[in-house]
Amino acid sequence: MSKDYFCEVVSKTMLNEDTAYIEFLCPEIAAEAVPGQFVNVTCFNFLRRPFGVASVDRDAGTFKVGIKIIGEGTEELASMEEGDGTWILGPLGNGFDIESSDKYILVGGGTGVFPINYLYEELSSQGKAVKVVQGFRDASQIILNKPEYVLTTDAGDAGIKGNCCDGLNSLSPSDVEGTTVLCVGPMPMMRAVSSWASSKSLDCYVSLEQRMACGIGICLVCVCKIKAEEQGQEFEHKRCCKDGPVFDSKEVIW
Ligand SMILES: Cc1cc2nc3c(=O)[nH]c(=O)nc-3n(C[C@H](O)[C@H](O)[C@H](O)COP(=O)(O)OP(=O)(O)OC[C@H]3O[C@@H](n4cnc5c(N)ncnc54)[C@H](O)[C@@H]3O)c2cc1C
Ligand code: FES
């Protein structure tokens, strides 16, 4: 069950000029969080901002989030230093199903590389077959990349020139066959990856990062339309924070 915890910053590194990687001490969240879940972090004393769990160290009782500065809330949170603390509600949302397959392709872009990092940690520690494709605008934006990942850049100044689908197309047929695709990134990227997976008859799950407020299903700020043909209607409204943020890509109305 998610609760509000006062969490101390135990380490902070800047991954590039506008992205902080912050490790918080919270044994409860570290013990419970599964990949794809997020936490709602307090800034300005009472407002909250959602961030995907990017890494967990259960022995140390810590978890990490990556914070890209895009406005005042992220600017305040990214300026926290070791020893500072804030209230964090979590873990929240449904997370990815990492049990029902033994073979995964993970696709990350933008701040989606943070949940993808935690997915990779968990799946590789379970000994599952996992390939990762990450896409960035250019070499200066590359963060949390590993040598074993397939790297793409729009500018072509690192890795394969192109987008994540170009990276996916570079995988061998044996890497692709029978996999489940898990994707987190900007909507156009997830839409393209979803249609790539569909063209190969692969299951694909995406994480919808709508604007959020409460994070616990009460305020309805985050509703999105999800297909509901089985219920005899075209779509139904679902709360990304509570019913998601992870959805079967076949059910998303893009
Ligand atoms: C489930 C979830 C997980 C997330 N995980 C991460 C993460 O791991 N790392 C990370 O850096 N960010 C993540 N985000 C996005 C992050 O929450 C926002 O960047 C943050 O709330 C912006 O706060 P702000 O006060 O700095 O900006 P604001 O002043 O609130 O907004 C600045 C601008 O960004 C736009 N914006 C704000 N939030 C979003 C959003 N969710 N989607 C698209 N546009 C938005 C606003 O419309 C505005 O134009 C996640 C969002 C969600 C919903
Ligand atoms: S953020 Fe309030 S219902 Fe989802």
Structure tokens at 125: 């520690």
| Test site for ligand 1: of 16, 38, 49, most ligand atoms within 8 A of the Cβ | 49
- Percent pLDDT > 90 in the chain is 94
User: Which single residue is written with the structure tokens 């219920």?
Assistant: 231
Q: Is the CB of 217 under 6 A from ligand 2?
A: yes
SS3 211: coil
Give 138's DSSP letter: S
Strands 3-16 and 223-228 come out as unpaired
| Cα end-to-end span (Å), the chain | 31
Ligand 2: nearest atom to the Cα of 215: 1
Tell me which CATH code domain 208-254 carries: 2.10.240.10
Ligand 1 atom 31: residue of nearest CA: 71
**Average model confidence (pLDDT) for the chain?**
95
Ligand 1 atom 5: residue of nearest CA: 51
Strands 103-109 and 47-52 come out as unpaired
Ligand 1 atom 32: residue of nearest CA: 71
What values do phi and psi take at 175, rounded to 5? -70, -30
**Ligand 2 centroid from CA 242, angstroms:** 7
Give 79's DSSP letter: T
Ligand 1 atom 21: residue of nearest CA: 49
Identify the architecture of domain 3-92 in CATH.
Beta Barrel (2.40)
What is the model's pLDDT at position 187?
95
Question: Is the Cα torsion angle 164, 170, 173, 174 positive or negative in sign?
Answer: negative
Strand partners, 131: 105
* Res 252 pLDDT > 90: yes
Cα-trace Rg, the chain: 18
What values do phi and psi take at 117, rounded to 5? -60, -45
What is the model's pLDDT at position 229?
84
pLDDT in tens, 86-114: 999 999 999 999 999 999 999 999 999 99
Q: Is the CB of 249 under 6 A from ligand 1?
A: no
Strand partners, 246: 207
* Nearest CA among 222, 202, 3 for reference residue 104: 202
Indicate the pTM of the whole model.
Answer: 0.95
What is the model's pLDDT at position 64?
98
Structure tokens at 192: 């393209």
What is the model's pLDDT at position 46?
77
Ligand 2: nearest atom to the Cα of 240: 4
pLDDT in tens, 143-162: 999 999 999 999 999 999 99
Tell me the fold of 96-204: Rossmann fold (3.40.50)
Strands 150-153 and 160-161 come out as parallel
Q: What is the separation of C-alpha 1 from the centre of its chain, rounded to a whole number of angstroms?
A: 20
Q: Is the CB of 210 under 6 A from ligand 1?
A: yes
Question: Is the Cα torsion angle 20, 24, 30, 33 positive or negative in sign?
Answer: negative
SS3 189: helix
Structure tokens at 39: 């936490």
- Percent pLDDT > 70 in the chain is 100
Q: What is the separation of C-alpha 226 from the centre of its chain, rounded to a whole number of angstroms?
A: 19
Q: Which ligand is nearest to the CA of 224?
A: 2
Q: Return all residues near 122 (Cβ < 8 A) that are at least 6 apart.
A: 34, 35, 98
Q: Is the CB of 48 under 6 A from ligand 1?
A: no
**Ligand 2 centroid from CA 41, angstroms:** 14
| Test site for ligand 1: of 119, 209, 214, most ligand atoms within 8 A of the Cβ | 209
Ligand 1: nearest atom to the Cα of 67: 11
pLDDT in tens, 190-234: 999 999 999 999 999 999 989 999 999 999 999 999 999 888 889
Q: Where are the domains of the chain?
A: 3-92, 96-204, 208-254
**Ligand 2 centroid from CA 247, angstroms:** 16
* Res 45 pLDDT > 80: no
